[in-house]
Amino acid sequence: MTSVPSDANEPEVDRTSDTTRGRGRDQRTRLRARARLVAAAAVGAGLVAGAGWAATAGDDDGATARPADALELDAEGRSGSQQVLGETREPGVPSVQRMRHDDVDFTVTVAPSRPGPNLVRIDATGAGHRRHLTGADARPVLVGTTESTELVRAVPRPGASGLWAVVDLPEKYGTVLVTHGPRHRVPFGVDTGFEAQSDDEVAAWTGDDGAECVTAATAAMLAGGDVPDACPAQALAPGDAVALRRTVAVLGERGVAEVALRSDASPRGRAASAVVRRAADRAGLEVVDPDAVPGRRNALLVVSGWTDAARSLAAVIARPLPEQPIRDDGTWLAPWLLSPAVVDSTAGAVVPLDFDIRDPAAQEYSQTLARYLPGQTPTGSGYAAWRAARGGTPSPPRLFAASRAAFMPTMPGHGAHGSEVAWFPGGTVTPVGSL
């Protein structure tokens, strides 16, 4: 279900330290339920959520007693916020909730909603957003579990939109407290259950690839499907492997002599690197380190995750122009790197994709995302999860030029599409060739 924002009280907060499974259901049923909720949520959400909190707090099942301030915040969070995805708070299912506070709509995502470290995403929209969070008097956004614990500063993650922080949640239930200065606190209640996370699960949700993992999970839930069994970076998708092999073959056909390969240590990164090296060997291309001085006819191919890709690309363009490597054949990105925050890190790149952002299904995804999760940008990984949950099928892969400056060459008939699509406002993702 979705939500309508509600006003929240503003008790004083004076902490300034810096520092899975979903429920599938018929999509039409979900959307009808959402529509009904919009009319009723402002009246009934506080009563229903308050009753749910009372039942939870009254049945500890052996859980450790919680401090008075934690119980107070929990009650406030459960009565003041509304669920955006999912009808109830459920352990192991990422929680997405929204609350309006001081003319700001805070949308807070907590994943995986289990005991231990959880990744928290914060998106803020509304009339007060610029005044409180981005204006001259803006204060840092801090995240914690209670006022008596140290709060962590929420910061951007390279390659992703929104602000992010990692917080430890207790067993059974907890509260994620978001603040942006004294007298401004926004609490969100979360049910975590008792199932502990493994070290691999903690790394998947909270590590460098956590933002992509959360994005894919919430996109699948938004489509009415289950949360994916694994995060995208935990394996190389068969379609992505095909796209990479064909991309390397195209580079060889174009006369490229060497490929500077940028990868990472994730399972997907290692598998993608192996695919590229085998394809390069067949095409007679030399694979070189991305930090090596480029030779003649050199192309950069990036197959790492969002964080590494955005960080490494941004580091290059931050150098003085005479110190930047000159790559005669440009920058090429793996399919999962179609993210505005990654593309923003370079002057432009070529991406192999099995969809066009102008396809009706891709447009439905971006429009639904804008409606229910405002402030979040569409991404290739999010759309792949959305499409899988909806039972959609990929198209044959093609090459697309992606840039936030709409100057890249286009194919006939596509010249007017540069800035019309919500995926890349002011930019372009334009088909430039076949694979």
Q: Domains of the chain (ranges plus CATH)? A: 27-207 (no CATH), 234-434 (3.40.50.2300)
The predicted pLDDT at position 163 comes to 94
- The pLDDT, as a whole number, for residue 19 is 31
What residue type is 87 in one-letter code? E
Backbone angles phi, psi at 299, to 5 degrees: -125, 140
Q: Name which of 3-7, 109-113, 119-123, 408-412 the model is least confident about.
A: 3-7
379/131: higher pLDDT: 379
Contact criterion met (CB below 8 Å) for 417 and 403: no
Chain segment 333-391, per-residue pLDDT in tens: 999 999 999 999 998 899 999 999 999 999 999 999 999 998 899 999 999 999 999 99
Three-class DSSP category at 177: strand
Residue 104: pLDDT band by 50, 70, 90 thresholds? confident
pTM of the model: 0.78
Q: How far is CA 342 from CA 25, 28, 300, 404, in A?
A: 33, 33, 15, 10
> Over 80: is that where the pLDDT of 155 sits?
yes
**51 SS3 class:** helix
Helical H segments across 296-429, by residue range = 306-317, 340-343, 360-372, 380-389
Among residues 201, 209, 431, the alpha carbon closest in space to that of 342 is found at 209
pLDDT > 70 in the chain, percent: 72
**Residue 17 clears pLDDT 80, i.e. is over it:** no
Give which of 161, 52, 158 is closest to 422, Cα–Cα. Answer: 161
Residue 406 has pLDDT above 60, yes or no: no
**Stated length of the chain:** 435
In the block, which residue shows the tokens 């005479």? Answer: 322
Give the separation between CA 151 and CA 178, rounded to whole angstroms: 9
User: What does DSSP assign to residue 6?
Assistant: -
pLDDT of residue 102: 75
Mean pLDDT of 127-140: 60
Residue 399 main-chain phi, psi, to 5 deg: -95, 135
Mean pLDDT of 319-331: 90
What would the mean pLDDT of 103-114 be, rounded to a whole number?
A: 91
What's the mean pLDDT when you consider all of the chain? Answer: 79
CA distances from 180 to 71, 129, 144 (A): 21, 11, 12
**Contact residues for 241 (Cβ-Cβ < 8 A; gap 6+):** 271, 272, 275
